[in-house]
Amino acid sequence: MSDEPNEPGPIDYLVIEFPGSRMTGEGLPLLVDLVDRGIIRVLDLIFVRKDSDGSIRGVELADLAGDDRLDLTVFEGASSGLLGRDEIDDAGKVLEPGSSAAVLVYENVWAGPLAAALRRGGARLVAGGRIPVQEILASLDAAENSA
């Protein structure tokens, strides 16, 4: 083991829209599992609502967790300070009126030790990115149809 402090992994964010503001909580156990296994660390989790008139507002976790089906209290206090009013407004711009969204900022904890080891070995990251899932699915469909 190294005496070096843990290096943070890459930080990512997701904006997850819930059309019609219908949140079932179906993905919540999977998110909790990722945190429990140390794969990610939730830095921020906020909720945004875009009303039918186009106005955008932040929504408190307590306002979402009152139906006994969606218990978000495990993430109460998840706030690194990275998200503010500008990010709420930006997230709201991509939402359909009458919808809500979760804005999740998380650290890829699994990647921190790997990145540190590579740097110690003289490697450096020279590019990175993400392929949108829609592109992957379209590519897979095209390959299946041409087979």
Interval 11-59: pLDDT, tens: 999 999 999 888 887 888 899 999 999 999 999 988 899 999 999 988 8
Please state the pTM of the whole predicted model.
0.78
Spatial distance between the Cα atoms of 102 and 46, rounded to a whole number of angstroms: 6
User: 30: buried, middle or exposed (CB in 10 Å: 19+, 13-18, 0-12)?
Assistant: exposed
Most confident of the following: 62-76, 105-119, 120-134: 105-119
Strand partners, 112: none
